[in-house]
Amino acid sequence: MPFVQPRSDAAERVLASAQFISAHSGDVSVPEDGVRQAAQEIMGQMTRTGYSTAEWKKHALLPSVADSAALEWIFVADALNFSFWPTRARREEQYTVTLDGVAYRGYWSLCAAINRALREGIDMTDAQCLADMTLERLAHVFRTDDPRTQEPIPMLDDRLQVVREAGQVLLVKYGGRFANVVAECAGSAQRLVELVVRDFASFRDEHQFAGQTVCLYKRAQILVADVWACFEGRGLGCFDDIDHITMFADYRVPQALCHFGALQYSPRLRAHLEQSEAAVRRGDAPDMLPSGHPWEVEIRGNSIWAVQRIRQHILDAGTSVNAILLDFYLWDYAKEHAADMSAIPIHHTRSIFY
């Protein structure tokens, strides 16, 4: 009898955490009428645009070919996929990476920096390169070449620790390749999440809330989701339990969920977030929520729960969709409709988890 990898319930632990957080939240809620309305509106728009995994490779900066090099690219991108919100109000002063004449900010600045490094011969997809990374070299990778930019990429020191750890663990445990981590999960998305949070500490997105340890695993789950989407659910991206993966608790999708009415903040929390954004607009420091702050955990946990509730409404209406596609849709929607959402504040937390 061949050794069968033990199954994992990592994504189910995230869902249970989200439900627990939502049930014990005092300042964030998931209004059922907002969920119902959001489900109708989102499903209608997704149906019209034919939203599918095929959308993923349409993004200019993401790998366009689903091969083993794409796996290594996705790994380093999702190891660094955190904390891009700007502290400068004026767009031209915000951290920017320009590639092929296009200025990228936020998450896309990360992708542009990785692709620029690869073109310059800094192989960010090589585990030894990551393990040997220095602060000087990483600063070069994330340099901005626009003289108007007034801020560096946030959390550079943390990013250095993250890439060095990622490279070292890949070398020691997985022959230097993320493809070997994927091979070991034997087609289980939850097993892959489990392996990543077990072996790569920077992905271990766990917090104390209302006396319990809650698991949010945002970067570990989006890592699996990006593999699944890039390979369109086939070959190395074929996972028989992919529908267990939840929404990825970041700071951008909550904004879209508020816009659709599926997430609601208490007046005092809304006031705090608005005052912090007003401070940044004035040129002052944001009034940050520390990582693990109850309000931060409530926003993240209720976002996961809201997407789960939206998904259930859509399933009850007879249409199949998973939390990944809903999340990607909501994130892309938030980026495309940033102007319509400018009155909805994001929360300001510096965290390596999202």
Ligand X SMILES: Nc1nc2c(c(CN[C@H]3C=C[C@H](O)[C@@H]3O)cn2[C@@H]2O[C@H](COP(=O)(O)O)[C@@H](O)[C@H]2O)c(=O)[nH]1
What is the three-class DSSP state of 225? Answer: helix
Residue nearest to ligand X (CB): 106
For ligand X, the closer CB: 131 or 193 = 193
| Beta-bridge partners for 343 | none
Q: Which of 226, 250, 316, 332 is catalytic?
A: 250
User: In the complex, which residues of this chain contact ligand X (CB under 6 A)?
Assistant: 55-56, 59, 81-82, 84-85, 106-107, 248, 250-253, 327-328, 331-332, 354
Here the tokens at position 130 are: 């990551």
Q: How far is the CB of 226 from ligand X (least distance, A)?
A: 6
3-class DSSP state of 97: strand
Q: Give residue 336's identity as a one-letter amino acid code.
A: E
Q: Give CA separation, 69 vs 63, 74, 117, 179, in Å.
A: 9, 9, 15, 9
Amino acid at 112: A
Q: How far is the CB of 278 from ligand X (least distance, A)?
A: 19
Q: Which is nearer to ligand X, 73 or 174 (CB)?
A: 73
Distance (Å, rounded) from C-alpha 115 to C-alpha 124?
9
φ/ψ of 216, rounded to 5, equals -115, -30
Taking alpha carbons only, the member of 297, 307, 293 closest to residue 214 is 297
- Give the nearest distance from C-beta 69 to ligand X in angstroms: 17
Is-catalytic flag, 250? yes
Nearest-angstrom CA–CA distance, 275 and 287: 8
Rounded distance between C-alpha atoms, residue 218 and residue 334, angstroms? 18
Read off the tokens for 233. 């659910």
Nearest distance, CB of residue 251 and ligand X, angstroms: 5
Q: Are 326 and 247 in contact (CB under 8 A)?
A: yes
Structure tokens at 8: 């994992």
| Smallest gap from residue 276 Cβ to ligand X (A) | 15
Comparison of 142 and 251: residue with beta carbon closer to ligand X = 251
Structure tokens at 105: 């900010």
Minimum distance from residue 175 beta carbon to ligand X (Å)? 27
Residue with tokens 């369109």: 232
| 312 CB-near residues (< 8 Å, 6+ apart) | none
Q: Rounded to the nearest 5 degrees, what angle is found at the Cα of 274, between the Cα atoms of 270 and 279?
A: 150
CB atoms within 10 A of CB 250: 28
User: Closest separation between CB of residue 55 and ligand X, Å?
Assistant: 6
State which residue, 22 or 53, has the beta carbon closest to ligand X: 53
Dmax of the chain from CA atoms?
Answer: 66
Active site residues: 250
